[in-house]
Amino acid sequence: MSFLANKELEKLLKKCISDNEFTENRLQNASYELTLGDEVYTNSDSSKTILCAKKPQFEVKPGQFAILMTKEEIEIPSKYIGFISLKFGFKFRGLVNVSGFHVDPGFKGKLKFSVYNAGSNSIILDRGQPYFVLWISELTSQLADDENYNGSHQGQNSISSHDIMKIKGEIASPNNLLSQIKEIKSSLKIYWWLLGIILVTCIGVCSRFYWQKSQYEKGYIDGYNKVEIENEVNKKVEMILNKKIDSLVGAKYKEIKQKKDSIE
């Protein structure tokens, strides 16, 4: 098996590309550049997008899957096999081909590319621009008719509803997860600020309450001791005075009684 050089490739593709769409300046380095057609789709859309003169551009956002279709319809003879890829400039930006990398012998139709944007920026694609590369290799012998490709993609010329259902919906991509993590971090920052304010407020209120309570108790204890001491002192003084008075009165009464008894 060997790959066709420019001259052999040109001769073959002039027969294999429909409607005389072969363009000589897209033939280089033993490969041929295919262009983006009119139908595209991303997994976040509800339906496929039709590109036209008024809307020639298409965006693949970071973390999105997309289905791209070539403008050219090609036919691979049973003696050959094709190999396909994205141009390096777009792979360098993060656009990755996640579909098949070869075209079976006997295939006829437009080529579909399932791609994923693994980069950090959106990739803008233009209708009719060359984004795909095709190489063709010759087999050591020609396949029989019943050995040629006759699968579900034979004769395809549009993005089907079955294609859309395969990739439709949100994907848990690294970019989506990173965005969600950033949103959670941002929310947590707000919550931490609120929690900090609440904690500081609670600490301040509790500190003030404890200080007021301690002052109240101190004042209450001090006041209670002062009154208690004054009451006890007054009681003692009164008791001493009463005893003194009683003793003086008793002694005077005893003296008067003795004098009275002596006179008698």
What is the C-alpha to C-alpha distance for residues 190 and 33, in angstroms, rounded to an integer?
52
Q: What does the domain layout of the chain look like in residue ranges?
A: 2-171, 172-264
Q: Supply the DSSP symbol for 131.
A: E
Q: Which residue type sits at 230?
A: E
Give the three-state DSSP class for 104.
coil
pLDDT at 251: 60
The pLDDT assigned to 131 comes to 95
**Dist CA 44 CA 171 (whole Å):** 9
Could you give phi then psi for residue 102, rounded to 5 degrees?
A: -140, 160
Alpha-carbon distance values, 97 to 92, 149, 243 (Å): 12, 22, 117
More confident residue, 108 or 258: 108
Mean pLDDT of the chain, nearest integer: 82
User: Considering only 38-42, 144-148, 180-184, 251-255, which range has the smallest mean pLDDT?
Assistant: 251-255
Residues 109, 89: contact at Cβ < 8 Å? no
Q: What is the pLDDT of residue 247?
A: 64
pLDDT at residue 34 greater than cutoff 90: yes
pLDDT tens per residue, range 133-183: 999 999 988 888 888 898 888 999 999 988 888 888 766 566 666 666 677
Instruction: Specify the 3-state DSSP secondary structure of 5.
Output: coil
The C-alpha atoms of residue 188 and residue 264 are separated, in whole angstroms, by: 111
Fold of 2-171: Deoxyuridine 5'-Triphosphate Nucleotidohydrolase; Chain A (2.70.40)
Task: State residue 18's pLDDT score.
Answer: 78
Burial of residue 158 (CB within 10 Å: 0-12, 13-18, 19+) is: middle
**90-117, pLDDT tens digit by residue?**
889 999 999 889 999 999 999 999 999 9
- Tell me if 29 sits within 8 A of 88, measured CB to CB: no
Residues in the chain: 264
Kindly report, residue by residue over 10-33, the tens digit of the pLDDT: 999 999 997 778 899 999 899 999
Indicate the pTM of the whole model: 0.66
40: CB partners within 8 A, 6+ apart: 48, 49, 51, 58, 66, 67, 68, 69, 125, 159
Lowest mean pLDDT among 135-139, 200-204, 236-240, 251-255: 251-255
Give the span between the Cα atoms of 210 and 200, in whole angstroms: 15
- Per-residue model confidence (pLDDT) at position 31: 95
Per-residue confidence (pLDDT) for residue 57, from 0 to 100: 94
Residue 72 CA to residue 165 CA, distance in Å, equals: 24
